[in-house]
Amino acid sequence: MENIKWVLNEMPKSEDRYLPLMEKEKIEEVRSFHSSFPQYSVTPLARLDGMAERLGLGGLFVKDESYRFGLNAFKVLGGSFAMARYIAGETGKSIADMTYEYMTGEQLRKDFGQATFFTATDGNHGRGVAWAARKLGQKAVVHMPRDTVQMRYDNVVREGATVTIDDLNYDDCVRVAAAEAARTEHGIVLQDTAWEGYEEAPSWIMQGYGTMVLEAAEQLRALEVNRPSHVFVQAGVGCLAGAVVGFFSNLFPTNPPKFVIMEAASAACLYQGACRKDGQYEIVGGDLKTIMAGLACGEPNIIGWDILRNHADAFLACPDWTSARGMRMLAAPLKGDPAVTSGESGAVGMGVIDALMTDPAYAELKEALALDRHSSVLLISTEGDTDPEKYRKIVWDGCDE
Give catalytic residue positions.
75, 122
CA atoms of 341 and 151, how far apart (whole Å): 17
Pairs from 140-143 (Cβ < 8 Å, separation ≥ 24): 140/116, 141/116, 141/117, 141/177, 141/180, 142/118, 143/118, 143/119, 143/168, 143/173, 143/176, 143/177
CA atoms of 173 and 181, how far apart (whole Å): 12
Sequence-distant (≥ 6) Cβ neighbours of residue 86 within 8 angstroms: 115, 188, 190, 201, 204
Work out the burial of residue 229: count CB atoms within 10 Å of its CB; fewer than 13 is exposed, 13-18 middle, 19 or more buried. buried
Strand ordering across the sheet containing 139-144: 162-165, 139-144, 116-120, 187-189
Return the SS3 of 53. helix
- Percentage helix, strand, coil for the chain under 3-state DSSP, each rounded to 5: 50, 15, 40
CA atoms of 129 and 263, how far apart (whole Å): 24
Under 8 Å between Cβ of 247 and 30: no
- C-alpha closest to that of 325 among 234, 254, 238, 401: 401
Under 8 Å between Cβ of 34 and 5: no
Triad 348, 382, 89: Cα angle to 5°: 140
CA atoms of 27 and 95, how far apart (whole Å): 12
Return the SS3 of 158. coil
